[in-house]
A and B are shown apart, each in its own frame.
Chain A
Amino acid sequence: MEVAQETLTAPAATETVQVSGSVALLEALIAEGTDTIFGYPGGAIMPIYDALFDYNDKLNHILVRHEQGGIHAGQGYARTSGKVGVVFATSGPGATNLVTGLADAQIDSTPLVCITGQVFAHLLGTDAFQETDVINITTPVTKWNYQVTDATEIPEVIAKAFYIARSGRPGPVLIDITKNAQIQLFDFAGYKPCDHIRSYRPKPIVRTQYIDEAAALINNAKKPFILFGQGVILGSAEQEFKAFVEKSGIPAAWTILGAGAIPTDHPQNVGMLGMHGNYGPNVLTNDCDVLIAIGMRFDDRVTGRLDKYAKQAKVVHLDIDPAEIDKNVKSTVPVWGDCKETLPLLTAAIAKKEYPEWLAKFNDYTKQEVEAVIHNELNPTTPEMTMGEVIKQLNEITKGEAVIVTDVGQHQMVACRYAQFNNTRSNVTSGGLGTMGFALPAAIGAKFGAPNRTVVAIIGDGGFQMTCQELGTIMQSGVDVKIVILNNRFLGMVRQWQELFNQRRYSFVDIQSPDFVALAAAYRIPGKLIDDRADLTTALNEMLSTPGSFLLEVMVTKENNVFPMVPQGCSVSEIRLK
Chain B
Amino acid sequence: MSEPEEKQEFNITVYTENQIGLLSRIAIIFTRRKINIDSLNTSPSEIDSIHRFNIVINESEDVVRKLTRQIEKQVEVLKVYYHTNEDVIWQELALYKVSTDVIAEKVSVERLLRENGARAVVIRKDYTVFETTGHREETDNLINILQPYGLIEFVRSARVAIIKDSDGFNRKLREFERLEPGEDVIENEYLNQGQKVFTM
Contacts and interface: CB of A to CB of B under 8 A. Distances in A.
A336 B188 contact: yes
Nearest to A323: B69
Contacts of B24: 136, 139
Interface string A194-213: 01111111001101001000
A130 B39 CA distance: 36
A144 interface: yes
Contacts of B125: none
A196 to B, nearest CB: 5
Contacts of B177: 198
Nearest to A140: B28
Interface string B49-91: 0000000000000000110011011011110000000000000
Contacts of A139: 21, 24-25, 28
B185 A201 contact: yes
Nearest to B183: A205
Interface string A130-161: 00000110011001111100000000000000
B51 to A, nearest CB: 11
B16 interface: yes
A320 to B, nearest CB: 11
A325 interface: yes
Given A139-B24, A322-B69, A199 B75 contact: yes
Given A139-B21, A144-B75, A323-B69, A334 B28 contact: no
Given A198-B17, A199-B16, A204-B188, A323 B76 contact: no
A146 B21 CA distance: 9
A578 interface: no
Contacts of B17: 198-199
A192 to B, nearest CB: 14
Contacts of B20: 147
Contacts of B16: 199
A136 B185 CA distance: 30
A28 interface: no
B75 A200 contact: yes
A207 B188 contact: yes
A146 B24 CA distance: 13
A200 B75 CA distance: 5
Given A135-B21, A207-B188, A199 B73 contact: no
B179 interface: yes
A164 interface: yes
Contact of B181 (A140, A195, A201, A321): A201
B76 A199 contact: yes
**Looking at chain A, what size class is its interface with the partner chain?**
20 to 34
A135 B25 CA distance: 10
Interface in B113-156: none
A216 to B, nearest CB: 15
Given A205-B181, A323-B69, A334-B191, A199 B176 contact: yes
A307 interface: yes
A122 interface: no
Contacts of A210: 188
Contacts of A144: 75
Counting chain A CB atoms within 10 Å of each CB, which of B65, B183, B188 scores highest? B188
A307 B25 contact: no
Contacts of B76: 199-200
B30 to A, nearest CB: 12
Given A199-B75, A199-B77, A199-B78, A322 B181 contact: no
The 10 A-B residue pairs with the shortest CB-CB distance in the complex, in nearest-first order: A323-B69, A307-B1, A199-B78, A144-B75, A204-B186, A200-B75, A323-B73, A196-B179, A199-B76, A199-B17
Given A136-B24, A199-B75, 15 more contacts: A135-B21, A139-B25, A164-B75, A199-B76, A205-B185, A207-B188, A307-B1, A322-B69, A322-B187, A323-B66, A323-B72, A326-B65, A326-B66, A334-B188, A334-B191
24 contacts: A139-B24, A139-B25, A144-B75, A145-B21, A146-B21, A147-B20, A164-B75, A195-B179, A196-B179, A197-B75, A198-B17, A198-B78, A199-B77, A200-B76, A201-B185, A204-B186, A204-B187, A205-B183, A205-B186, A210-B188, A307-B1, A322-B72, A323-B66, A327-B69
Interface of B: 1, 16-17, 20-21, 24-25, 28, 32, 65-66, 69-70, 72-73, 75-78, 176-177, 179, 181, 183, 185-188, 191
Interface of A: 135-136, 139-140, 143-147, 164, 195-201, 204-205, 207, 210, 307, 321-323, 325-327, 334, 336
